Amino acid sequence: MTDGESRATMTERLRHARWRTATLARAGLIAPLRPDRYARMGLAVRRYGISATVGLALAAARRPHGVGLVDERGSLTWGELGRRSDALAAGIARMRTPTGREIRTVAILCRNHRGFVDALGAATKLGADALLLNTGFSGPQLADVVARENAELVIYDEEFTGLVEHARADVGDLVELVAWQDEPGSGDVRSLDSVIRANDGGTPDPPGRPARVILLTSGTTGTPKGAARGADGGTDAMAAMLDRIPWRAGEPVVVAAPMFHAWGFGQLVIAATLACTVVTRRRFDPEATLEMVRSSGATGLGVVPVMIERIMELPPEVLDRYPLKGRLRFVTASGSRMRGDAVLAFMDRFGDVIHNSYNATEAGLISTAVPADLRVAPDTAGRPVVGTELRILDDDDREVPPGEVGRITVRSGFQFSGYTSGDTKAFLDDYMVSGDVGRVDEAGRLFVVGRDDEMIVSGGENVYPIEVEETLAAHPGVREAAVVGVEDEKFGQRLAAYVVVEPGSEVGADDLRSHVKSQLAGYKVPRDVTFLDELPRNDSGKVMKRELPASDPGGS
């Protein structure tokens, strides 16, 4: 490296450091505090290390008397949450499985409530792995993941007792705690609250390593994989997000996205790091979500895209009860494709506040569309965040020009270190192959077209389902649609559409085929059309295409 190159590199590093500091200061993460609080924050980092969840401990040190969480049982301050996780960690540290194993992996099967936060905080203080389990799992799926990830403790809501029985039968060597009971004190399994009460005032020994969080991939096309995340990207990752989405320290936020999912978990972690009050409830309800925003004075709302759609399906007279325009500063969404009509309708009513992010369990935050992007292109995932580079490649690993569809590859400092199985994602020249396909327009905006393994080859022609799905959804009689490929003797594959119609609509299969044919090439017209009452979705809003029924060749 020449002296000139060295000076250029140093200048770039200084410029980046100034940008990071300014961004964190604007959000209030860097702010004047009492010296004793800085000292307590330093002690928390020294004791627990830098991890994905250390923000929970930092919030207790930074804003101990500020309200940290509001759920259906009331409110808790950050200090109270800190003491609860101390007590829970102290209790877990003394637990052993029936065969005498220590607790090193804590599996959490909980909806959004204080017990979920207690369990995460306790895992942080133990230096344990927190395995976040999908609340939509079947019994065999749960047993498989718990066994594969070697969990010793399962913390779960009482409603999932039947699912946990599968894990108990297949794994056996487990400790169990119930985190939420509709009637506290009921049931035979020891409750999380009883452990907290029994160990009130206790603290565990300092952990031997920083805690990790094991996030599971969505499993829409196969068995969910475990992706271990630590403090990936550090303050650079936080600054990249805050550069696009206007969070502010200390301001209340409603987290409606499920916290077991990478996106909802991320909203909780960001809120804790900024010592924001987190307002949540166990189950999503569109009107209840608007009421939480209104009553709490929240300036932010974290959702998955289908929640925006469900809110905008409320009757106008219900929406009129929540005049949030000018109060709600941002809505942050990720996890699945956003329906453009719902995005525009939401912003027309509540203001230009939606930020749509392309986020991957393995790669972290990749790109974000700000409201100005969505006004121009409601289905865009925006531009790459600072510190992230994108390449769209063809099947020969060559970059494609703007507008052409190819495989999305990503390079950043926010990527995971590998799956818990020891495998990792494929890489090309330091770029992670995301598994998604998409295109970039002339303005640099990314559009995610779908999964590369969802591409349908019909009669030698490549068809991406999202294009047909969007065309079907644009019909006034269609609420939503999913398209898959099914085996066909003549064409190899043929397109099968699954359609949910608007209430009162009498649209038929032939009407929809004619509609698609008027918009797209003939080989993109679905030959099978099956009408459903609803599409199967997981709790993060993604359509589970492998759970769709057999298609109807004739349509109905």
3-state secondary structure string across 83-104: HHHHHHHHHHHCCCCCCCCCCC
| Angstrom distances, CA of residue 3 to CA of 7, 8, 10, 11, 15 | 6, 9, 10, 12, 18
- Domain containing 87 equals 25-229
**Under 8 Å between Cβ of 302 and 258:** no
DSSP for 505-529 reads ----HHHHHHHHHHHS-GGGS-SEE
Residue pair 279/296 in contact (Cβ under 8 Å)? The answer is: yes
Q: Residue 275 falls within a domain, yes or no?
A: no
**Same domain, residue pair 204 and 61:** yes
Residue 233 has a pLDDT of 65
Indicate whether 341 and 427 sit together in one domain: yes
The pLDDT of residue 186: 66
Q: In sequence order, which ranges of 297-449 are alpha helices (DSSP H)?
A: 305-312, 316-319, 340-350, 371-376
Answer yes or no: is 6 within a domain.
Answer: no
- 446 lies in some domain: yes
**Overall size of the chain counted in residues:** 556
The sheet that has 175-180: what strands, in order across it?
Answer: 175-180, 153-157, 105-109, 129-132, 212-216, 226-229
Q: How many domains does the chain have?
A: 3
Indicate if 96 and 149 belong to the same structural domain. yes
**Residue 283 within a domain:** no
Distance of alpha carbon 64 from alpha carbon 475, whole angstroms: 52
Amino acid identity, position 254:
V
Are 463 and 447 part of one and the same domain?
no
Give the per-residue SS3 of 19-36: HHHHHHHHHCCCCCCCHH
pLDDT recorded at residue 152: 95
The CATH number of the domain where 503 resides is what? 3.30.300.30
Domain membership of residue 200 (yes or no) is yes
Judge if 441 and 507 occupy the same domain: no
Supply the CATH number for residue 216's domain.
3.40.50.12780
The reply to whether 305 and 360 lie within a common domain is: yes
The pLDDT value recorded for residue 555 is 64
Q: Do 447 and 484 belong to one domain?
A: no
Query: Three-state DSSP class for 153?
Result: strand
| Residue ranges for the chain with pLDDT beneath 50 | 221
Same domain? For 100 and 218 the reply is: yes
Give yes or no: residues 308 and 163 share one domain: no
Regarding whether 85 and 47 lie in a shared domain, the answer is: yes
> Can you read off the two tokens belonging to residue 212?
């990790």
